[in-house]
Amino acid sequence: MFCLAAAVCLCRGAGAAGPEVTPAQVEAMLASLHPDYALYISGVRYGATRLHPAALYAGLVRAGGRDPRMPEDGPRTGRGVRNELVIYADMFEPWRTPGWRLLVTDHEYFHARHLARGFDIPVAGFDQMKTDTDYREALAWAWVARREADNVYGPLSAAERAEVAARYREHYDGFLAFVNRRQPSAWAHYGRFLPDPDSLVRRAAAAPIAETPPPADGATR
């Protein structure tokens, strides 16, 4: 499952009236971040519903796939494959910063390029869906956390920065626990791609913070 956010803001109130995102906007963000994005993402389109499903803001599907949550629609893996990015009109809450929108878009770019073996990072499978998810999500959150620290996206709000750190740490810890149970020596291999979360948080702390306050009526998690 290539979901962006497992924990979802359930406070619909003001959010329902906020600006909606379109495939063209997401394609423009992808192009601004990565002129090569079309090598890995063949198109961006809406999912079957206007509102994102619970626990999913956006996700990759194979060509013609409709629902990123369904295994039969899930993205393909292999050198040179191109998957499609499914988005939802309400995937960004109105209070999200422009930096967050770029970060989320870049997160999906990472997944697409990783699955197409466009990075020198293994596309490993562990025969456990949770572990596969932890591994791939940890990699993608590490990617955006590093780039956030380099101020690629512009300022995030304090809540958004904390969310990036929390999501990375969650998946890092999950994958590390799996490796330690199965074969601790394997961390010498996989750990090369997954920096210590504390070091990433310290790096990100030097990047600028947006003034945008988080929503008054609910938290992000």
- Give residues in contact with Zn ion (CB under 5 A): 137, 140
Residue 163 or residue 212: which is nearer to Zn ion going by CB? 163
Phi, psi of 186 (to 5 degrees): -70, -15
Please check whether residue 118 is in contact with residue 40, taking contact to mean a CB–CB distance below 8 angstroms: yes
Answer whether 73's CB lies under 8 Å from 53's CB.
no
Min. distance of Cβ 164 from Zn ion in angstroms? 12
Residue 196 has a CB neighbour count (10 Å cut-off) of 11
**Closer by beta carbon to Zn ion, 16 or else 70:** 70
Q: Rank residues 111 and 212 by Cβ distance to Zn ion and give the closer one.
A: 111
Minimum CB distance to Zn ion smaller for 14 or for 193: 193
Q: Is there a contact between 141 and 107 (Cβ–Cβ < 8 Å)? A: yes
Q: Terminal CA-to-CA distance of the chain, rounded, Å? A: 19
CB of 213 to Zn ion, least distance (A): 26
Structural contact between residues 140 and 88, judged by C-beta atoms closer than 8 angstroms: no
CB of 149 to Zn ion, least distance (A): 18
Residue 66 or 170 having the CB closest to Zn ion: 170
User: Cβ 53 to Zn ion, closest distance in Å?
Assistant: 15
61 CB contacts (<8 Å, ≥6 apart)? 67, 68, 73, 74, 75, 83, 84, 85, 86
Least spacing, CB of residue 140 vs Zn ion, in Å? 5
- Return the number of the residue (2 or 178) whose C-beta is nearest Zn ion: 2
Other CB atoms within 10 Å distance of the CB of residue 24: 9
Q: How far is it, in rounded angstroms, from Cα 27 to Cα 14?
A: 26
Distance in Å, CB of 111 to Zn ion, minimum? 5
**3 state DSSP class of 134:** helix
